[in-house]
Amino acid sequence: MNVKEIKEKLFRADKKDYGDLYRVHYFEQYKMYYDGIEKNSDKRFTINSFFLGINTFVFGAIGYLFDKDKIWTDISTYIVAVFGIFISYIWYRMIRSYKELNSTKFKVLNVIEENLPLSANDVEWEALERGKNPKIYLPFSKIELWIPRICIAFYCVIFLFRYF
């Protein structure tokens, strides 16, 4: 959704029709929306911690199984590696989903800020060159996406190493 579409859908009432409390309610809704963005970031951190914990357990299981020399251990290693790939892919997709959700939330926030005295969020993003210059700012989500990719690569290497 582009900024024009956001503006069209976001504002359901203008100041004249809404009444005297328009500015007060507008600012309260802005604060609630911003708090929602913060809560979304907290959930993202919790999910990352959860998947990092699962992967730590899976790495440990592979280390334990890899040291053994029985046929059932080979099969177990395959199963654990496939499970690790599956879990890491789900993690990767969740990070991407949160990235898109946050990007959209910040677009909406910028539109809301157009009617406030300050547009701090948009100015901050502009100062960071909108994440296009990695020497100035490298978005966390770009770094964050590499962790499950590395895990997937590790599990694939383990799977192939056990196979050959």
Structure letter (DSSP) for residue 137 = -
- Return the pLDDT at 69: 65
How many alpha carbons lie under 13 Å from residue 26 in its C-beta half-sphere? Answer: 19
**Mean per-residue pLDDT, 65-84:** 78
Spatial distance between the Cα atoms of 150 and 88, rounded to a whole number of angstroms: 9
Spatial distance between the Cα atoms of 47 and 102, rounded to a whole number of angstroms: 15
pLDDT tens per residue, range 4-22: 888 888 888 878 888 888 8
pTM: 0.83
How many alpha carbons lie under 13 Å from residue 90 in its C-beta half-sphere? Answer: 11
Percentage of the chain with pLDDT > 70? 96
Rounded mean pLDDT of the chain? 89
Percentage of the chain with pLDDT > 90? 49
How many alpha carbons lie under 13 Å from residue 13 in its C-beta half-sphere? Answer: 11
Give the residue with greater pLDDT, 12 vs 45: 45
- Return the pLDDT at 68: 65
pLDDT tens per residue, range 103-158: 899 999 999 998 888 888 889 989 999 889 989 998 888 889 999 999 999 999 98
